Amino acid sequence: MKLHAVEVLYRERFGDHVLIRYRWTGTIPEPGQFVMARTATSRRGFEPFLSRPLFAHDYDGETLSLLFEIRGRGTALLASEEAGLLVSAPLGRGFLLDSGPVALVGGGVWVSPLKLLAKRLVRSGTTRDVYLEIPGTAPKAYAAWISENFPDATLVPTDGCKDPSQIVLSRLGDLTRYATVYASGPAEMLAAVKQVTAGTVPAQLATRERMACANGSCYGCAIPVWWRGERTYVRACVEGPVFPAEVLAW
């Protein structure tokens, strides 16, 4: 996979959450597509060797942004001020746009791909409701930033809640008023969305299987799906990472 050296224009950090904006004049990202990203150099040479998958968060025609949480070495390096950035072109299959009305549901810090999706829906005049969880673990600055960046969203604080996904989903009310529910969140939230929408309303889920090659050759991102009545596996990096909920076999 070709990685492009890009110019980082902006970096902001809210605790363990990081926003990077870089100049991008290549292929326009579709909502729900991701890029593979790694630092251009590090003190330890090529470490980390593998790039990390991150959703395209926002795009304005000239700059593309990534919103991520520092989890381990790869994301910590990406967050460091002096690091140069290498990124792939946008990859994978994203969300299919519906004419609405639609609901967007984001869990925890996994809301990243919903920004670009919301923007495209606004442009196509689609009626949408956005529900975003603000977990207790999120830094205050991040919560403030989310409310600024998703001004129309219903923010659902879940500090101390036993089952955050259910708290967020209970805010949607009658699901039959929606033509599609789009979700990006932790596995528990995606499973909950799949369960509540089954047989009622189509849902599209942004999955996050761990990835290595991201070009379809290693099968490291295999995800179970139903295909012609059989349980089988497809590659999340090529056939996904967004899937219709009813296709996912979990």
Ligand X SMILES: Cc1cc2nc3c(=O)[nH]c(=O)nc-3n(C[C@H](O)[C@H](O)[C@H](O)COP(=O)(O)OP(=O)(O)OC[C@H]3O[C@@H](n4cnc5c(N)ncnc54)[C@H](O)[C@@H]3O)c2cc1C
Task: Choose, by CB under 6 A, the member of 135, 220, 244, 247 that binds ligand FES.
Answer: 220
Q: Does 112 bind ligand X (CB under 6 A)?
A: yes
Task: Choose, by CB under 6 A, the member of 235, 240, 241, 243 that binds ligand FES.
Answer: 235
Rounded CA-CA distance 242/231 in Å is 18
Span from 48-56, 122-130, 156-164, 191-199 in contact with ligand X (CB under 6 A) = 48-56
Of 128, 195, 198, 202, nearest in space to 163 by CA: 195
Burial class (CB in 10 A: 0-12, 13-18, 19+), 233: middle
Q: Does 91 bind ligand FES (CB under 6 A)?
A: no
Token pair, residue 213, equals 């090659």
Rounded CA-CA distance 247/250 in Å is 9
For residues 66 to 95, the per-residue mask of contacts with ligand X, x marking binding by CB under 6 A and - elsewhere, is -xxx-xxxxx--------------------
Q: Does 1 bind ligand FES (CB under 6 A)?
A: no
Q: Does 23 bind ligand X (CB under 6 A)?
A: no
Rounded CA-CA distance 34/70 in Å is 17
Q: Shortest approach of ligand FES to residue 18 CB, angstroms?
A: 23
Rounded CA-CA distance 58/64 in Å is 6
Cβ atoms of 51 and 212 within 8 Å: the answer is: no
- Looking at the Cβ atoms of 75 and 197, the one nearer to ligand X is 75
Report the amino acid identity of residue 85. L
- Looking at the Cβ atoms of 81 and 230, the one nearer to ligand X is 81
- Looking at the Cβ atoms of 112 and 197, the one nearer to ligand X is 112
The length of the chain, given as a count of residues:
250
What does the binding site for ligand X look like in residue numbers (CB under 6 A)? 34, 48, 52-55, 67-69, 71-75, 109, 112, 208-211, 241
What does the binding site for ligand FES look like in residue numbers (CB under 6 A)? 211-214, 216-221, 235, 237
